[in-house]
Amino acid sequence: MFVSENQRRYCMRRALLSRRNTVIHNGIDTRHFQDHRSALERHALRTELGYADTDYVIGITAVLRPEKNHIQLIEAIARLRRAGLPARGLLIGDGPTRGVVEARARALGVEREVTVTGFREDVRPYLAACDVVCLCSLTTEALSLA
């Protein structure tokens, strides 16, 4: 059983020879993630997280593991900052590569522009603080559950 056609093809190319396989896509109730906050509530949330109204907050919600490729987002934040754009990173999650990710942010001089929240049971308020949310996963990711 696979969660995407791409994942099925990936495994089939690597000699998974079972004739009995199927794709069952993930289902997410998007109503659960609809943001009903007012502009004032969103402003308060961003202020609480240390963001200015002029900051462009790029978020990601994922376990900090190599295949999730948080480093790519850190490098993008650094590049955008060098170009004079007020990019900030909000990494929602925790995991074994947290230290590596934070070290990369320090090495690029963007440790103040990147926030790692640690594990959060409810990510919705953090997503609401973002201007955009990205997914940087490498080829091993079939179809994100985030």
User: 67-95 pLDDT, tens per residue?
Assistant: 999 999 999 999 999 999 999 999 999 99
Query: Do 88 and 27 lie in a common domain?
Result: no
Top pLDDT among 134 and 2 is at 134
Query: Do 87 and 145 lie in a common domain?
Result: yes
Query: Do 25 and 45 lie in a common domain?
Result: no
Query: Do 90 and 24 lie in a common domain?
Result: no
106, two tokens: 């320090």
- pLDDT band at 26; cut points 50, 70, 90: confident
- CA 126 to mean position of chain CA atoms: 11
Q: How far is Cα 108 from Cα 101, in angstroms, rounded to an integer?
A: 11
Q: How far is Cα 146 from Cα 143, in angstroms, rounded to an integer?
A: 9
Instruction: Write the CATH number for 85.
Output: 3.40.50.2000
Query: Do 44 and 17 lie in a common domain?
Result: no
Give the structural domain span for 17.
Answer: 1-34
